[in-house]
Amino acid sequence: MKRFANAVLRVLVVPGELVGWLILPLIVSVLMTVLAAKMGWNAFLRWDTPLPVLGNALTVNSMADLQWYIFAIIAIFGGVYAFRDNQHVSVDVFSSALPRRVRLGLSVFGDLVFLLPFCAIIVWYGWSFTLTAYNAGEGSSYGGLMDRWLIKAIIPVGFALLGLAALVRALSTIHSILLPTSGTQTGDDR
Amino acid sequence: MIEYFWPMAMLVALMLGIFSGYPVGFVLSGIGIVFAVVAGVPMIFLSTGVSRIYSGILTNWLLIAIPLFVFMGLMLERSGVAERLLRSLAALFGRLPGGYAFAVAIIGVVMAASTGIIGASVVLMGMMALPAMTQARYDPKISTGLIAASGTLGILIPPSIMLIILGDQLRISVGDLFVGAIGPGLLLAGLYFLYLIAVAFFQPHRMPPAEHVQAESRAAVLIGLARDLLAPVLLIASVLGTIITGIATPTEAAAIGAAGAMLLALLSGKLNFGTLGAALRDTTKTTAMIIFVMIGATIFSVIFRRLGGDQMVIHAFDALGTGPYFVLFAIMALVFLLGFFLDWVEIALVVVPLVAPVVASLDFGMSQSQTLTWFAIALAVNMQTSFLTPPFGYALFYLRGVAKDISIGTIYRGIIPFVLLQILALILLIMFPQISLWMIG
Amino acid sequence: QSFDLQSVFGLNVPSIGPSPVNWADKVRLMTAGEIDIKVHGAGDFVPPFEVFGAVSTGAIPMGFDWIGYWAGTIPVANLIGSMPFGPTPEIALGWMFNGGGLEIIQKAYDPHGVKIIPCHLVVPEAGGWFNKEINTAEDLKGLNMRIAGLGGKALAKLGANTQLVPAGEIYVSLETGRIDAAEFSAPQLDKGFGFQKIVKNYYFPGWHQPSSWDSIIVNMDVWNGFSEDQQRIMVEACKANITENMADQLNAQVSAIEEIEAAGATVKRFPDEVLAAMRTAAAEVMQEEAANDPIFKEAYESLTAYIDRTARWAELQALPR
Ligand code: NA
Ligand code: NA
């Protein structure tokens, strides 16, 4: 069970491990915007046939949109990554004094009562939120990026991964509560 | 009181949930959702959660500065800049009583002005300066207290992630907050220096001069110091300088700083594919851990408001009554007490939205934006203190992590004078708002 | 029955802030307390840009907005929100309720399940705050300006670098020279941001927005749940609201301009040559938009025809001053 859970978690954090590299284009893009403001440029490139996402120009506003797109991707997928590695902000001054089984029980309670329903709701409404943007062909009205549904889709996708991670960890923790000999490593051990 | 049953119950559940040790962001959102269901809020209302995550957080251009400042801090940590600076400062001051202490305090300020996060500086000084101070027979209470306190200046002195989030929460200019935090940051550093001078003078045995530092020529030492100061000074100029002169917004300055820190790491020969990848992955997780508390807080607060929570808070402060300074004192005392157990992320994202409307309506004889800016900076000093106050203080934990042979009890006792200095600075800032406002137009 | 309404504005903002509160009071009065609408300020439930989506799904039953906010979803909203060189308030009023305007707009809102009631008519905005003097159209080239809507697209055509700085960051961006110019609103609102302390020139006319509409939006299921009388009352309450806000705005603008001048800013007009260039660019922008969206096209043609037709009346009635 433990091995299975770790294998699933390893797959779920793959996007989180990779998206950090987007920080490099993020830096470049912000520096280009600063330069453009200094030089008084508006568009870096223009063309005639509209392309998906980019529309028909690469402007300062496309850059600004790109920047928060990258930020959104890092924040959401990083959430799954930080969850697997137990790096989310928590206050364990009191709980660390509790017996191990109680701590594991609290962890399962959190995964199933706090995290899983929350993820389910965000996936459900995030999906219709994305569909609405898709059907309306929503895009920037300031010459920025088009096809907003793509970035909105990050929300249901990211929270689906997070919910799955919570479920898998909860099952694995329950398993190790019921069969304490099957291994000391559990999702709750820091 | 019965009309406020749900919001009261939410607050109680929140306290229990946070102390259960489960991640705070998920406790916040989970309690929001559970109470929405139990209190019979229509399911469709929960779709506001998605709107708030998307429009309030993910599209918020201001917050882009967070990964950039985090990455900048991590790169700077790996560049070896602070290590070299410590070595040359130790060569200059080491042979004076309290010499190491002054070196550590100076590095605290320099690192604070070059990065937006804390941790790096505390860990670094804990690993490098602490052994040297121990060898010189410094009182461990003073060396650990100083390292922890000066290491946390980074969250107050701009650039600072905390100020970015406060600016966003209170809808005031982050540029103003950055400028306004310089005065209080320097005031605190000044108080540390005065304290060190007093100890060096009255209790010199607690920080004796180091004998093992070999004597070099004064000129050689000064040249070395100038060389090692150059990199951080250039970085400070490129980040704070571009914000103050208007070339860049805080977000843009963060990108400039991130590029600069990468360049420093490259020049020091410390940049390769492996370290870069590790720094980028750490940045991803640190960003996410802050943003997920924001996400949790935004879910919690919309349900809290739907169930009448904001009315409850306003009523509670109305009941307190008796003048703006009393209300301000009550808020500051609350934040200080919460700071024993919580850290700034939770305070800034959970408590500040609740009290912000109350503060905005108080009359201190200033404009509303001045009042909020001043309030935000006082909060920032207060929340910086939460890093230092036992039992739960990040800076103390970081230090404990690297200083294995010093007991946590010593660290807890060592921090007391510095916490008192923080309180003194906070009182001065509240009595004299000009400390933060004089540089803002 | 009780309903929540969320505005895209703070309730303390002059004029547009209390507008939905006043409307809700009228509805309560006219329905003898049957319909009780609780008005919430910006961000209480959802961020301002999400109010339309939330009303559309029914998460929030009602909203109050500046129509132009929904341009990303509904192209014609850009035209109604602010049409450069568009109608004066009185012509806008005529077109909306008697010239077929409302029917065209409702067509664009129908697929989203949202009922629109135009409810607050805004007088022309200012042309904006400029740290540089604008003497020729050349001066717009490379100008970094914060400006919303179709006017922004028109200025981009003239070589300006237009962007949407969030309201809270405009002041600092102007002060530090990060942007050279910004339009925000009418003097009554601009004054509160204190731009007059840091910017030299306050330009008129508000070519990009000679009039604009704020509206009440209602989830269609909620709307269909009201009786015909109740629906009629909500529309009439909006018309009364418009009368009120038309009466209270003009005098307040002039007082605000006086205060702005006293603080040291110079009030100026764009030269006619510059306005002519803006007009040409704006017409190009609107024709491009019309080519992309049939309802935008219908509204643009209908409104332009209405403006052209009623212009004769204004000419005949023009008096020497
Ligand atoms: Na800092
Ligand atoms: Na603490």
For B68-87, what is each residue's pLDDT tens digit?
988 988 888 788 877 788 77
Of A60, A136, A140, the CB nearest to C161: A60
Q: C160 CA to chain A: closest CA distance, Å?
A: 7
Q: What is the pLDDT of residue B409?
A: 83
DSSP B211: S
Least Cα distance to A35 among A48, A45, A44 occurs for A44
Q: Return the minimum-mean-pLDDT range out of B187-196, B311-320, C235-244.
A: B311-320
pLDDT in tens, B348-376: 887 888 888 888 888 888 888 889 999 99
Q: Is the pLDDT of residue B212 over 80?
A: no
Pair type for strands C201-204 and C128-130: antiparallel
Please indicate whether, in this complex, the C-beta atoms of B341 and A93 are within 8 angstroms of each other.
yes
Which DSSP letter does residue C49 get? G
Q: So what's the pLDDT on residue A187?
A: 45
- Establish if C173 touches chain A: CB-CB under 8 angstroms: no
How near does any CA of chain B get to the CA of C175, in Å?
8
Going C311 to C312 to C315 to C317, the CA torsion angle's sign is negative
- Please name the residue of chain A whose CA is at the shortest distance from the CA of residue C156: A42
Judge whether residue A183 has pLDDT over 60: no
Quick check: C227 and C296 in contact, CB under 8 A? no
Task: Name the DSSP class of B58.
Answer: I
CA of B380 to the centre of ligand 2 (A): 14
Quickly state the pLDDT bin for A76 (edges 50, 70, 90): very high
CA-nearest residue to A38 within chain C is C178
Sheet containing C201-204: order of strands: C161-163, C144-146, C181-182, C128-130, C201-204, C266-269
Q: Which of B343-346's residues contact partners 24+ apart within 8 Å by CB, and which partners?
A: B343/A89, B343/B383, B343/B386, B343/B387, B343/B392, B343/B394, B344/B155, B344/B162, B344/B383, B344/B384, B344/B386, B344/B387, B345/A89, B345/B24, B345/B165, B345/B290, B345/B293, B346/A89, B346/A91, B346/B18, B346/B24, B346/B293
User: What is the mean pLDDT of the segment spanning B90-116?
Assistant: 82
Name the residue type at position B41.
V
B231-246 pLDDT tens trace: 888 888 888 888 777 6
Chain C interface residues facing chain B, Cβ-Cβ under 8 Å?
43-50, 53-54, 57-60, 166, 168-169, 171-173, 175-178, 197-198
- Within 8 A of A125 by CB-CB distance, chain B residues are 46-47, 49-50
Stated as kind and residue range, the H or E segment containing B72 is: helix B65-79
How many angstroms separate the alpha carbon of residue B187 from the centre of ligand 2? Answer: 21
Interface test with A, best of C162, C163, C286, C293 (most A CBs within 10 A): C163
B and C: number of Cβ contacts within 8 A: 71
Q: In whole numbers, what is the pLDDT of chain A averaged over residues?
A: 87
B171/C59 Cβ within 8 A: no
Average pLDDT over residues B103-107: 88
CB contacts of C175 in chain B (<8 Å) are 246, 441
Amino acid present at B395: A
Q: Please report the pLDDT score of residue B241 as a whole number.
A: 83
Q: Compute CA distances C182 → B250, C68, C254, whole Å.
A: 19, 17, 20
Share of chain A above pLDDT 90, in %: 57
Query: Chain A contact for C143, CB < 8 A?
Result: yes
Instruction: Tell me which chain C residues have a C-beta less than 8 angstroms from the C-beta of B244.
Output: 176
Long-range contacts at B60-63 (CB < 8 A, ≥ 24 apart): B60/A68, B60/B168, B61/A64, B61/A67, B61/A68, B61/B251, B61/C166, B62/B164, B62/B167, B62/B168, B62/B174, B62/B250, B62/B251, B62/C166, B62/C169, B63/A71, B63/B164, B63/B165, B63/B168, B63/B291
Structure tokens at B250: 């805080």
List per-residue pLDDT tens for chain C, 321 residues long: 899 999 998 887 888 889 999 999 999 999 999 999 999 988 889 988 899 999 999 999 999 999 998 988 899 999 999 899 999 999 999 999 999 999 999 999 999 999 999 999 999 999 999 998 999 999 998 888 988 889 998 998 898 888 777 666 687 778 767 788 999 888 988 887 778 888 989 999 999 999 999 999 999 999 999 999 999 999 999 999 999 998 888 888 999 999 999 988 999 999 999 999 999 999 999 999 999 999 999 999 999 999 999 988 888 988 887
Residue B216 is predicted with a pLDDT of: 66
Measuring CA to CA, how many Å separate C49 from each of C8, C42, C69?
7, 10, 7
Q: Looking at residue A190, what is its pLDDT? A: 37
Q: Determine whether the interchain pair C47/B245 forms a contact, defined as Cβ–Cβ distance below 8 Å.
A: no
Domain boundary assignment for chain A: 2-182
Lowest mean pLDDT among A75-84, B120-129, C99-108, C255-264: B120-129
Whether the pLDDT of residue B56 is over 90: the answer is no
* Inter-chain residue contact C47 with B172, CB threshold 8 Å: no
C189 φ, ψ to 5°?
A: -90, -40
Tokens of C174: 């102007």
- Angle at the Cα of C45 from the Cα atoms of C39 and C50, rounded to 5 degrees: 105
User: Which of A168-172, B107-111, B120-124, C101-105 is predicted with the least confidence, judged by mean pLDDT?
Assistant: B120-124
Query: How does pLDDT run across A22-51, given as a tens digit for each residue?
Result: 999 999 999 998 888 777 777 777 777 777
Q: What pLDDT does residue C168 have?
A: 64
List of chain B residues whose C-beta atoms are within 8 Å of the C-beta of residue C57:
44, 47
Residues of chain A in Cβ contact (below 8 Å) with chain C:
36-37, 39-42, 59-61, 64, 128-129, 132-133, 136, 138-143, 148
Higher pLDDT, B386 or B128: B386
Q: Please provide the average confidence, as pLDDT, over all residues in chain B.
A: 86
Above 70 in pLDDT, residue B214? no
Q: What is the pLDDT, as a whole number, of residue A188? A: 44
Whether the CB of B249 is below 8 Å from some CB of chain C: the reply is: yes
Give the other-Cβ count within 10 Å of B139's Cβ: 18
C30 CA to centre of ligand 1 in angstroms: 57
CA distances from B334 to A174, B326, B340, C250 (A): 38, 12, 10, 46
Mean pLDDT of all residues in A69-93? 90
Which residues in chain A touch residue C78, judged by CB atoms under 8 angstroms apart?
Answer: 141
A49 touches chain B (CB under 8 A): no
